[in-house]
Structures are given as structure tokens and as C-alpha cells.
Chains A and B, each alone.
Chain A
Amino acid sequence: MVKFQIKQKMHTPQGEQWLEVDIHLAQNDFVSFFGPSGAGKTTVLRVLAGLAMPQEGYIEVDGEIWLDSRRGINRSVQERKVGFVSQDNSLFPHMTIRQNLEYACRSKEDFNTVEEWMAVMGLKGLETQRPAQLSGGQKQRAALVRALLCKPQILLLDEPLSDLDALSRLTLQDEIIKIYQKTKLTTILVSHELPEVFKLSKKVFVIDNGRIIKSGTPQEVFVNSDLSGKFQFTGEILEIQKEGVLNILTLNIGNHITKVIASDEELVDLSVGSKIIVAAKAFNPIILKVKTT
């Protein structure tokens, strides 16, 4: 279980404001922090990791107190056992990928798992490459493995996929799911991408101006109407075409381009680039077996 209360003064373009959060996470939770830039999401991660000191704070992870500002307890970043992956991957440029991974190992047992992780994450063959020679997706995969090799108690992902192209992002999302299923690590993801939040997290905290304004499952938080949807997908509007009395929307759903129709009423708050949920109410779809031979 992870419990934390943080009170921290933030300097924003709008002036000084307080970040105040009080969050309890269950063991093995995968949660997301969602909200605009400057809302305080990254600050929370930095305080959890021990990279920033709050004015007041209490952090407890699996029964161990990492920070209690009232009692003067403050474990150093090295003692906290946090896996931290940032947007810029922070791989050491002078080291090869293998050296980067081995740098994270604390025991002989950790060294033995390097090969396994490289195989699982598709990094085989890249051992002797330096980070500058890798694609964005490969770098983030290596950064994820490096963060896991030091056997963290929690995994903090600070917009790790935001610099990647759509295809790499989808692949990495699958990799993160694979890692989560393998390690069952309590994970906190900071993301601006609604589809990513829906795909990866069990619970989402919407943070704005330093406060949690909403929390719950992504469906509870982002879907306002009570749909009895049997199928739901999140996506983005790429194009809106007027065809007589109807509108044809071209959508990007999970990197698949799909066209759906929409009425003028449904389009009132929507425009190209809007993030949407497409849900089909009760219906009887055609089900066919995929032939593999």
C-alpha cells in the first residue's frame, strides 16, 4: 500500500500556489495523474522519489515511512527504491545499453536478470549500442528496463511516451502492460493522453491547480453520461465531413482509422482533435473465428 499527503508551494506562471494531495493506493495499483501542464503532477512524482522536498509531507510505502516532515523522517532518494522513467529517458550517453542496464544492478542476482529483461523488451542485439544510436521507442524501453532492474517498490512514469510517434507509443503502451503483468508493481503514470489513461490505468486522479478535482476509474471520471455501452473505445477526431443531414467522422482509435456517422447535436462540443469515446449500445454483433491456418 502507498499512502502520501503532500503540501508543497509551487511557482507557476499564474503566481504561487499550493499543491495539496492526499492519496491512498492499494498494492499493485496502476493509476494515472491526468491534468494540464503545471498542475503539479510531476512535482508529486518528484516528491515521492525524494528529488524534491515538500513544505509538509507524509509518504508511506508498504508499511515503511519514507517521509514524515513532522517527525523529521526523510529517506534519501537512494534509500527509497523508486523506479523513475522520465520523458527524456535519462539514459547515460557515454554508456552502452548494456552498461546502462548493469549500472542499475545492485546484486549478482540483478545482473543475471539483465539478459532476461533485454529479451522480454526486445533489446537483444542493441547491447553494444549507445543511446544516441537508438530510436525513441528503443530508448524508452531501455529506460524502463533500467528502472526495473533496481527492484523498485513503486514505478513512477513521468510522461514516458509523450515524445514518441503514434505507433511507437502504442507499442510501448503494450510493453508497459506486459511489465505491469509481470511485476505487479504499484505504478503511477503521468499522462496528457486520454486514450493512454484509458488503456493503462485502473484509476485516474485529475489534478488541476495543485488539487485533485476528480478521481475514479477512467470511465467514471471521463464519461459523463450513463451509457450501457457494450463496446467502448477512446479515440481522436481526425476529420469531420458534412454529408447531407449527417456528419462523417474520421477517427483514430488505437491507431486504426475508422469512420462513424454523427448527428449535428453530437457534434456541438466536438472539433478536429477532440478526444472522444465511441460506445455502441446493446446490439448483436457478428462474431467470426479468426482462422490461423
Chain B
Amino acid sequence: MFGVIQPLLLTFKLAFVVTVILFVIGLPLAYWISFSKSKFKYIVETLVTMPLVLPPTVIGFYLLIAFSPQYFLGHFLESAFGLRVVFSFTGLVIGSVIFSLPFMVNPIKAGLQGFSSTLIEASYCLGKSGRQTLFAVILPNIRPALFTGIVMAFAHTIGEFGVVLMIGGNIPGQTQLASTAIYSEVEALNYDTAGLYALVLVIISFMVLFTFYYLNRRVVKIF
């Protein structure tokens, strides 16, 4: 029974870890893209959004090559830090963070860009720094956008398949997630188990998104 549950547990562990990392990375990145006047921001913005249009297997392929011990980066990480990224949980996290980045960054960016500049200026006139203004004025007012980013990143990581298959290798008990487990079970003609995974993912995804839409409307109503 544990063998059946394990891919589900690993899926939610991965989604949680990835969402936390994405929030920490995504917030400053979205802030920089929204307010920077640098020309490089368009390059960064393009790179952040590319996972939305690229096949997941393309990103998975490049990550597999980059982190392979036969190549420089993978060899360096393994020899210097004893860290093997391919076919490991770390690899799943890195692949998912890259692939779900636009789902966190884009909603926060939209929230920041739509935020009233007069409120930001009012805070500056009261002597507050950019950081104080971000935490005391901007973030509380873009809660719906933050909430959207968090939920979308979490939900998208649960549903990820191509990248995690390539970089994780779908190793049972180590890197096999619910989405890749369905693939394995279908290949082995275990339709009952595949159906169970599929049903659980449908129910969880529905519950996450339903809760999101219900709560987001209430968050918006406060304002």
C-alpha cells in the first residue's frame, strides 16, 4: 500500500518545496521586472516566460545534459560537493522550479504593474524606503496576485510530467511522482492503480483550484 501512496507523498512534498522556493525567488524577480528600467529586463522576462511555450521535454533534455556527470556542471557539482542532480529529488526540484517559474512570476508581476504608483510615492514622501514600502504597502495590496502565484505554482508542479520524467528518471521510491507513476502503471497494464493515481490527482487539483477561486474572491472583497 505504501508503494502506491509514496508517489503521491513525493508529489506533494515536491510541490510544497518548489512553491516555497519559487515564492522566495519569484517575488524579487517580479519586482525587478516590474520596476527596473534596465533593457536586460526584457531578456529576463522572455526567459522566465519561455517554459510556457516550450515542450517540457526540451527543458528536461537540457537539464539532463547540463547536470549529467559526463559534462562540466554535473561533474563539478558531484566532484566538489558530492551532489548528483540527475535522477534525484534535487533534480526534480530544480527542473520544477524552472518550469513553474512563470506561474509564480507572471501573476505577481501583473499585480505589481497594476499597483497605484501614487501610493508608492506617498509612502516615499513619508520617508519610507523601497523595502519598507514593498512590505508595508505594496504586498498587502496585491494579496490576490500573490495568492494566485502560490496556488498556480503549486498546482502546476503537481501536474508536471515531461521535465520530471527526463531529469528524475521515474525511479520508484526515489523520483517517481504521481504523474509519472500513471505512465509506468499504464505501460505495465495496471489500469486500476493508474486510475487511482489519476482520480486522486483530479480530486486534489479540483480542490486546490476551487479553494483558490473561492478564497481569492473573498480576498478581493476585503478591498
In the complex the two chains form, what is the Cα distance from A147 to B127 in whole Å?
11
SS of B interface (majority): helix
Q: B119–A82 contact, CB under 8 A?
A: no
Of B8-16, B29-37, B71-79, B136-144, the one with at least 4 CB within 8 A of chain A = B136-144
Residue among B121, B124, B136, B141 making CB contact with A103, cutoff 8 Å: B136
Across the interface, name the chain A residue whose C-beta is closest to B223.
A93
Contact for B121 among A51, A81, A83, A146, CB less than 8 A? A51
**A82 and B125 contact, Cβ closer than 8 Å, known pairs A90-B119, A94-B141:** yes
- Bound CA span A50–B140, Å: 25
B121, B125, B129, B137 interface centre (most CB from chain A within 10 Å): B125
CB distance from A112 to the nearest CB of B (A): 18
Say whether A77 faces chain B, with CB atoms less than 8 Å apart: yes
Bits for A86-123, please: 1 = Cβ < 8 Å to B, else 0: 10101011100000000110100000000000000000
User: Is B121 in contact with A150, judged by CB distance below 8 angstroms?
Assistant: no
Give the interface centre of A49, A103, A147 by most chain B CB atoms within 10 Å: A103
Question: In the complex, what distance in Å separates the CA atom of A86 from the CA atom of B116?
Answer: 13
* CB of B165 to closest CB in A, whole Å: 43
Cα separation A132 to B222 with both chains bound (whole Å): 10
Tell whether B203 is near chain A: CB-to-CB under 8 Å: no
| Interface size class, chain A | 20 to 34
- B112-140: which residues lie under 8 A (CB-CB) from chain A? 116, 118-119, 121-129, 136-137, 140
Instruction: Tell me if A84 and B141 are in contact (CB < 8 A).
Output: no
C-alpha spacing A88/B121, complex, angstroms: 12
Q: How far is the CB of B181 from chain A (nearest CB, A)?
A: 43
The reply to whether the CB of A284 lies closer than 8 angstroms to some CB of chain B is no
B129, A93: Cβ atoms closer than 8 Å: no
**Of A51, A78, A106, which is in contact with the most chain B CB atoms at under 10 Å from its CB?**
A78
Q: Which residues of B contact A92 (CB under 8 A)?
A: 119, 122-123, 137, 141
When distances are taken between beta carbons in the complex, the residues of chain A under 8 Å from B222 are 94
Residues of A within 8 A of B122 (CB): 84, 86, 90, 92
A78 engages B118 (CB within 8 Å):
no
**Is B128 a contact of A78 with CB atoms below 8 Å?**
yes
Digitize A143-163: 1 where CB-to-B-CB distance is under 8 Å, 0 elsewhere. 000110010000000000000
Chain B residues with CB under 8 A of A147: 125
Which of chain A's residues have a CB closer than 8 A to the CB of B137?
92
List A residues 208-247 near B (Cβ within 8 Å). none
Which residue of chain A has its CB nearest to the CB of B136?
A: A103
With a cutoff of 8 Å between Cβ atoms, the chain B residues found around residue A86 in the complex are 118, 122
The answer on a CB contact under 8 Å between B127 and A78 is yes
Chain B residue numbers with a CB within 8 Å of A93 are 141, 223
Identify which of residues 7-65 in chain B touch chain A, using a CB-to-CB cut-off of 8 Å: none
- Find the A residue at minimum CB distance from B140: A94
A49 to B127, CA, bound (A): 11
| Inter-chain contacts of A50 with B (CB < 8 A) | 124
Q: In the complex, A103→B137 CA distance in Å?
A: 10
Assess whether A77 is in contact with B124, with CB atoms less than 8 Å apart: yes
- Smallest Cβ distance from B74 to chain A, in angstroms? 46
Report whether B127 and A94 are in contact in the complex, using a CB–CB cutoff of 8 Å: no
Q: Which residue of B lies closest to A99 (CB)?
A: B136
* Whole-angstrom CA separation of A146 from B116 in the bound complex: 18
Q: Name the CB-closest residue of A to B118.
A: A90
**Distance A105 CA – B140 CA, assembled complex (angstroms):** 20
> Chain A residues with Cβ under 8 A from B141's Cβ?
92-94
A150–B126 CB distance below 8 A:
yes
Contact (A88, B124) CB under 8 Å given A78-B129, A94-B140, A94-B223:
no
| Residue of B whose beta carbon sits closest to that of A82 | B125
* Chain B contact residues, CB within 8 Å of chain A: 116, 118-119, 121-129, 136-137, 140-141, 222-223
A93-B141, A94-B223, A150-B125 provided; 11 other pairs, C-beta below 8 A? A49-B121, A50-B124, A77-B124, A78-B124, A84-B121, A88-B118, A90-B122, A92-B122, A92-B123, A104-B127, A132-B223
Can you list 25 A-B pairs, Cβ within 8 angstroms, ordered by A?
A49-B121, A50-B124, A51-B121, A51-B124, A78-B124, A78-B128, A82-B125, A84-B121, A84-B122, A86-B118, A88-B118, A90-B118, A90-B119, A90-B121, A90-B122, A92-B123, A92-B137, A93-B141, A94-B140, A94-B141, A94-B222, A103-B128, A104-B127, A132-B223, A146-B126
A-B interface, 8 closest residue pairs, ranked by CB to CB distance from nearest:
A90-B122, A84-B125, A77-B124, A94-B140, A104-B126, A78-B127, A90-B118, A150-B126
List A residues at the B interface (Cβ < 8 Å). 49-51, 77-78, 81-84, 86, 88, 90, 92-94, 103-104, 106, 132, 146-147, 150
